[in-house]
Amino acid sequence: MKLLRKSIVLLLSLIAGTLYAQEDVAKFLKGSLNDAEKLSKAYLEPFGKSLGTSLNSGWYNSANPHGILGFDITFTVPITIPPSSDKTFDVSKLNLEYWQVKSGSSSTSPTVTGKSSNTILTDKATGLSELNMPDGANLKFVPAPMIQVAKGLPFHTEIVGRFLPTINISSVGNFGLWGVGVKNEFKEFIPFVKRLPFSMSVLFGYTQFTSSFDINKAQKQKLNFKSSGYTARLLVSKSIPVLTVYGGLGYNHSTTDISLKGTYNVDGVGTVTDPIAFDFANNGFTANLGLRLKLAILAFHFDYSLGNYGIFNAGVGINFR
């Protein structure tokens, strides 16, 4: 239960950072819609990529599938750490059409994962209109807590479902998560290979996270996130009494779509509907290494994944092999 409480705190941190970001995305509408999209994308990119990366983690803590009567129910929390290089971005490199960096102001502005900002933009035409770039929300990590249920099937196969029930927060919005995966210990079907003294499997998984946060309910203004992650892994593990060492090597792909919905009044443009929509993609190879400790029916696991974004993953579950 202590792990559950800590995970709820992490989730609230994620919500707080997102709420902070959504207000600033609406402020970017001042001046030019094209510029608003460029600024919003640069500001939110580390959050979008971190969220997508988190979704591809936490699928397994053993390469050995459950037997036909075996199953587990596991609470797991992948936590993605955005790299320091994603803490800031250079506004002068965005090729803005309406705004320019004010003389004497820094062109380096924080992303949502960064800290304070000293960047001021002025309009190119007159220099009379100004836009103060927002501070970052200082997001040190992006968690994606979820519940997983795995069930053994015939032919050394296991199916995995994962979810976070849709959570509605009054005057804020809602969010939820679901996914499905399959694991198969293929080496059992290959002569000689099946004699290897460790388990070896392949895993394919898909996860989707959706959220909708309210900016102004009366005007139906919302900031929507939809993040999807696909992963394919080669898994190996070796078990001794109580302890299992496991690892995986594979490829991740994730996309995060962000859209600003509703009707807005934009200076110099007028009334616009659904003014901003963009997406982030994050692809690459990944590898992880972890340990699982099994005490009777309880199993605790921890692992770390390498890649463009480092991921810590920890969890606890009820496990019947």
pLDDT, tens only, 265-301:
877 678 889 998 999 898 999 999 999 999 999 999 9
Q: Is 288 exposed, middle or buried (0-12, 13-18, 19+ CB in 10 A)?
A: buried
pLDDT at 11: 57
Higher pLDDT, 244 or 190: 244
pLDDT at 243: 96
Amino acid at 150: A
Q: Give the Cα separation of 95 and 91 in Å (integer).
A: 8
Tokens representing residue 46 in the block: 């580390």
Higher pLDDT, 160 or 53: 160
pLDDT at 265: 82
Band of residue 21 on the pLDDT scale cut at 50, 70, 90: low
Residue 294: which domain range?
2-320
Q: Give the Cα separation of 166 and 89 in Å (integer).
A: 33
In the Cβ-directed half-sphere of 316, how many Cα atoms lie within 13 Å?
A: 10
- SS3 at position 241: coil
Cα radius of gyration (the chain): 22
pLDDT at 10: 53
Tokens representing residue 81 in the block: 């750490």
Q: What is the pTM of this model?
A: 0.88
Phi, psi for residue 60 in degrees, rounded to 5: -150, 155
Tokens representing residue 205 in the block: 């998984």
Taking a C-beta distance cutoff of 8 angstroms, is the pair 94, 38 a contact? yes
Q: Can you state the angle between helices 33-55 and 2-27, rounded to 10 degrees?
A: 170
- Residue-wise pLDDT for 102-137, tens only, equals 999 999 999 988 888 899 999 999 988 899 998 888
For range 17-29, the mean pLDDT: 66
Listing DSSP states for 109-128 in one string gives EE-TTS-----EEEETTTS-
Give me the percent of the chain exceeding a pLDDT of 70.
91
| Burial call 204-230: b when 16+ CB within 10 Å, e when fewer | bbbbebbbbbbbeeeeebbbbbebbbb
pLDDT over 80 (residue 198): yes
Q: For the chain, how many structural domains are there in total?
A: 1
Band of residue 1 on the pLDDT scale cut at 50, 70, 90: very low
Spatial CA neighbour of 207 closest among 226, 235, 193, 190: 226
- Residue-wise pLDDT for 214-230, tens only, equals 877 778 888 888 999 99
Q: Give the Cα separation of 54 and 205 in Å (integer).
A: 13
Tokens representing residue 104 in the block: 């004497």
Amino acid at 248: G
Q: In the 8-state DSSP scheme, what is residue 4?
A: H
In the Cβ-directed half-sphere of 273, how many Cα atoms lie within 13 Å?
A: 1
pLDDT at 25: 75
Report for 133-142, 168-177, 275-284: range of highest mean pLDDT: 275-284
pLDDT at 94: 96
- Residue-wise pLDDT for 57-98, tens only, equals 999 999 999 999 999 999 998 989 888 899 999 999 999 999
Tokens representing residue 248 in the block: 């995986």
Comparing 18-27, 116-125, 162-171, 305-314, which segment has the lowest mean pLDDT? 18-27
**Alpha-carbon distance values, 294 to 59, 61, 102, 119, 317 (Å):** 17, 11, 59, 52, 9
Q: Give the Cα separation of 207 and 178 in Å (integer).
A: 6
